[in-house]
Amino acid sequence: MSGVPFGAVLDSVREGSFWMPPDASVTTQFVDPVFYYILGLTTFFFVAIVAVGAYFAIRYRKRSDADRTHPSAGSHTLEAVLAIIPSILMATIFWVGFRGYINLSVPPPDALEIRTVGQKWFWTFEYPNGMVMNTSVENAKLREEAGLETGLVVPIGQPVKLIGHSRDVLHSMFVPAFRIKKDVMPNRYTSIWFEATKTGTYDFFCTEYCGKDHSRMITKVIVKEQADYDAWLEEETKNSAKPKSGSELFAQGGCTACHSLAGVAGAGPALNGLFGRDEALADGTSVKADENYIRESIVNPTAKVVNGYAPVMPPFAGTFSDEELDTLVNYIKNQK
């Protein structure tokens, strides 16, 4: 047994990485007991049934042709017991699960509401004061270089309601440490809530397969003390009021994931030297790459698809304001 790091296993159980992720929200109480109850129940019956089955198979095996010459009699009492007990247990599973589901669905009335927008392939969080946090991988990198944290930042001990929707396809908000998970979809809102109990940084995933860069649709939940949160929000609100540069908007949209500015073809064409060029399109026609073409290709990319590329770019209508679109078009225009 000397090779087994038993202490490490025990530690991971205690910290929650072996059975369950870390426990960092009051909402875990609606999920974990249900999980352990069902796990315990099914484990008990699995072991009991296999053990009794094995014992009977050996104890009552057919030893000779003289064994079991007539069928054994049935028992109505036994059958009734075997129907009633599992029914009661199923009802208890339904009850604890349903109660947990309802509790997860109804946030406390004083919850801080944060709108969560999913789009291919990043999350945007909109705070009640209008501050918008963009969490694309490229934007997070830029912000990290500037010493800024990126993610869903929330205060500890405060119920938070995430009101989600999607700008394109199905995505799903998932925070394992809070045991919360909810699909977001176009044309309707869904919501989920949590109340963080520990400061720290936790994963926030998209857990609905949503296309090419689904695996990059990942960010963090950062839980801060109330005072730190207030200071952070004030600072970010000031930052977000400043107009963004073209390169910042290019990063926010996650554009670099597919579009090189150095002449390398990716999932989409390279954008340097694009302006003024005649682009051959997939439908056999061609188009002069002017401001209108660039703008249309951001807002509604499948309208004119460049020959040799798949129509996979998501539409960015609604992602950028009119001013931001101007800045972005101008930025792309000037990539020589």
* Residue pointed to by tokens 């699995």: 46
CA distance linking residue 167 with residue 316, whole number of Å = 8
Packing angle, helices 76-105 and 32-59, rounded to 10: 160
Using CB under 6 A as the binding rule, whether residue 313 contacts ligand CUA is answered as no
CA distance linking residue 317 with residue 304, whole number of Å = 15
Using CB under 6 A as the binding rule, whether residue 162 contacts ligand CUA is answered as no
Closer Cβ to ligand CUA, 155 or 254, answer by number: 254
Min separation Cβ 218 and ligand CUA, Å: 9
Number of residues counted as binding ligand CUA (CB under 6 A):
9
Candidates 204-212, 228-236, 264-272, 313-321; binding stretch for ligand CUA (CB under 6 A): 204-212
Candidates 59-67, 207-215, 245-253, 257-265; binding stretch for ligand CUA (CB under 6 A): 207-215
Min separation Cβ 190 and ligand CUA, Å: 14
Question: Other C-beta atoms within 10 Å of 304: how many?
Answer: 18
Closer Cβ to ligand CUA, 34 or 313, answer by number: 313
Using CB under 6 A as the binding rule, whether residue 220 contacts ligand CUA is answered as no
In sequence order, the 6+-apart residues with CB closer than 8 A to the CB of 22 are: 15, 16, 177, 198, 200, 202
Question: Other C-beta atoms within 10 Å of 254: how many?
Answer: 25
Give the residue among 164, 162, 170, 161 at the shortest CA–CA distance from 189: 164
Closer Cβ to ligand CUA, 121 or 193, answer by number: 121
CA distance linking residue 186 with residue 214, whole number of Å = 17
Q: Of these, 162, 163, 206, 271, which contacts ligand CUA (CB under 6 A)?
A: 206
Min separation Cβ 195 and ligand CUA, Å: 25
H-type helices in the chain, by residue range? 6-15, 32-59, 76-105, 137-145, 226-241, 246-252, 291-299, 322-333
Taking CB under 6 A as the criterion, which residues in 108-137 touch ligand CUA? Answer: 118, 121
Give the residue among 234, 158, 226, 252 at the shortest CA–CA distance from 197: 158
Min separation Cβ 119 and ligand CUA, Å: 8
Q: Of these, 104, 137, 173, 210, which contacts ligand CUA (CB under 6 A)?
A: 210
Q: Of these, 143, 161, 167, 171, which contacts ligand CUA (CB under 6 A)?
A: 171
The contact set with ligand CUA (CB under 6 A) reads: 118, 121, 171, 206, 208-210, 214, 217
